[in-house]
Amino acid sequence: MNSFERVVAVLNHELPDCVPAGPVMLMQGAAELGLSLEEYFSRGENLAEGQLRLWEKFGHDLLCGFPHVVEDITAFGASLMYFRNGPPSAGEMVIRSYDDAFNLAIPDPASSPVLNETLRALHLLAGQVKGEVPIVGACIAPFSLPSMLMGTEMWMELLFIEEPAVRQPVLDHLLNVTLEFCAAWANAQLAAGADVVVLADGMSSAAVLTRPQFMDLALPVVRAVVRRIDGPVLHEGVGDIVPMVDLLPSTGVVGLMLTPRDNLSATKTLVGQQLALIGNLNNIEMRRWSPADMTRTAQSALAQAAPGGGFILAAQGPEVPLGVSDDVIHALVHAAHAWRY
């Protein structure tokens, strides 16, 4: 099996030849090309070339055709602030008042030069490796995007403090905008060459929401947007998702990206036959691991989630940080591929 066939088997709940390895490496390509992160992130050619060089180096099973999900806010007119050693942040909040939120229009993803570079990267990757290795796209999920446009505090204020008469019209409009944008952006990435799209939904884990809040606020949005996306979707909750994980198969997503806070065995028991699991190695601790540490930790994760298939060994989202040694990443890939079915 090649990487593409291996991952497709996992997503289809068939047994692959071995466990696919999916270390999400969004920044490492810059070093491969000798570029700053800003230079690297700013051109689709760089992103594609960086991913191909990383694939050649590590032999993993997923390539990322996007630089980072923060870029989604550029479609709404926001700028990005770049850092020397990490992903960019929002330069400013697009929404500063409920009036701003109520007047927010649905942007065309193609209106953003930044997003066009991502589409270019996906197109270039598809031209080189389509069918050999899966190409991953990503979007900020509609329920979480408002926190990037107005700040988490204002978003929570609207959701949980504001009077219903004020909240509901703003909420309805805002979620309609983010849902329409997210669906269009995901579909644009699929059309450009992505094989699967990750919905980064940082506001939708048990760390942030109670189960009733999740059911009331976030779940219907996930369900609605997945229905509108013309390809397979992975959900990344960026936090403990186990308390609501049984609800996710009904959304139509095909897999879950898990964090170290998510118990792999418990999650496997709850949804293992319905959803692929991806994760859940601790990407922050990984910086101080030796290859032996990685092997030991990876084998523990594999023992919990690999039996029966349906598992991709990966770091937790959003990415493997800079500072993780090549030897440690090689150890991750080797541990996954050594698990044979």
What is the binding site for another protein (CB under 8 A)? 81, 83-87, 89-90, 151-153, 156-157, 159-161, 206-210, 213, 260, 282-285, 287-288, 321
Shortest approach of another protein to residue 66 CB, angstroms?
18
Nearer to another protein, 284 or 338 (CB): 284
What number of CA atoms fall less than 13 Å from residue 192's CA on the CB side? 29
Distances (CA, A) of 51 to 2, 4, 44, 150, 172: 17, 15, 11, 32, 38
Nearer to another protein, 187 or 297 (CB): 297
Closest separation in Å from C-beta 135 to another protein: 26
Nearer to another protein, 202 or 272 (CB): 202
- Number of neighbours of residue 92 by Cβ within 10 angstroms: 10
Cα separation, 92 vs 94, whole angstroms: 6
Looking only at the bridges linking them, the beta strands covering 255-257 and 233-236 are parallel
Compare residues 227 and 288 and give the one whose CB is closer to another protein.
288
Closest distance of CB 71 from another protein, Å: 16
Residue 61 beta carbon to another protein: minimum distance, rounded to whole angstroms: 24
Cross-strand partners of 276: 255
Q: Is the backbone of residue 44 left (phi > 0), alpha (psi -120 to 50) or beta?
A: alpha
d(CA 182, CA 10): 25
Nearest distance from C-beta of residue 286 to another protein, angstroms: 9
Q: Tell me the closest approach of the beta carbon of residue 206 to another protein, in angstroms.
A: 6
* Nearer to another protein among residue 124 and residue 301 (C-beta): 301
Residue 110 CB contacts under 8 Å (≥ 6 apart), including other chains: 116, 119, 188
Q: Which is nearer to another protein, 20 or 260 (CB)?
A: 260
Least Å distance, CB 158 to another protein, is 12
Give the containing element (helix H, strand E) for 89.
strand 89-90
Residue 334 CB, nearest approach to another protein (Å):
23
Task: Round to the nearest angstrom and report the end-to-end CA distance of the chain.
Answer: 12
Query: Which of residues 55 and 155 has its CB atom nearest to another protein in the complex?
Result: 155
The vertex-253 CA angle with 175 and 144, nearest 5°, equals: 30
Reduced to 3 states, what is the DSSP secondary structure of residue 45? helix
CB 77, min distance to another protein, A: 17
Peptide bond into 116 cis (omega under 30): no
Nearer to another protein, 142 or 321 (CB): 321
Q: Toward another protein, which CB reaches closer, 33 or 322?
A: 322
The CA distance from 263 to 280, in Å, is: 9
Rounded Cα distance, 113 and 55, in Å: 26
DSSP code, position 209 = S
- Does residue 254 contact residue 233 with C-beta atoms inside 8 Å? yes
Cα→Cα distances 219→25, 108, 211, Å: 28, 25, 10
